[in-house]
Chains A and B, each alone.
Chain A
Amino acid sequence: MTPFLLKIVTPDGVQFEGKAEELIVRTTQGDLGILAGHINCVAPLGMGMATVVMDGQKRYGACIGGMVSVVGGAVKLVPTTFEWADQIDTARAAASEQRAQEILRNQSSSQTELRLAEARLKRALVRKSVAKYQ
Chain B
Amino acid sequence: MAGISTKEIKNRIRSMESTRQITKAMEMVASSKLRKAQGQVLASRPYFETLYATINEIVDVTKDFSSPYLTGRPVKKTAFVVIAGDRGLAGGYNSNVLKLAMGQLEGKDAVVLPIGKKAVDYFQYHKVPLLTAAYAEAEEMSLGDCFSVAKQLSKQFLKGELDEIYVVYTNFVSVLSQTPSSLRLLPLLRQTTGKEGTKQSDMVYEPDSATVFEAIVPEYVGGVIYGALCESRASEQAARRTAMDSATSNAEEMIDNLSLQFNRARQAAITQEITEIVAGS
Contact = CB atoms under 8 A, between A and B. Distances in A.
A41 B205 contact: yes
Interface residues of B, number: 28
Contacts of A9: 46-47, 50-51
B139 to A, nearest CB: 17
A80 B219 contact: yes
A69 interface: yes
B212 interface: yes
B47 A71 contact: no
A13 B46 contact: yes
B204 A12 contact: no
B54 A32 contact: no
A29 B207 CA distance: 7
B54 A69 contact: yes
Nearest to B58: A42
For this complex, into which size category does the number of interface residues on chain A fall? 20 to 34
B206 A69 contact: no
B216 interface: yes
B202 A39 contact: yes
Contacts, number: 78
A43 to B, nearest CB: 4
B154 to A, nearest CB: 13
Interface in A44-97: 44, 65-67, 69, 71-72, 76, 78, 80
A19 B192 CA distance: 32
A71 B57 contact: yes
A13 B40 CA distance: 9
B43 A13 contact: yes
Interface in A1-57: 7, 9-14, 27-29, 32, 39-44
A35 B48 CA distance: 26
Given A40-B202, A44-B216, A67-B216, 12 more contacts: A11-B227, A12-B44, A28-B211, A29-B207, A41-B206, A43-B206, A44-B211, A67-B54, A71-B57, A71-B61, A78-B47, A78-B223
24 contacts: A7-B50, A9-B47, A11-B43, A11-B143, A11-B227, A27-B206, A28-B215, A29-B206, A29-B207, A39-B202, A40-B201, A40-B204, A41-B204, A41-B206, A42-B212, A44-B211, A44-B216, A44-B219, A66-B219, A67-B54, A67-B216, A71-B57, A78-B47, A78-B54
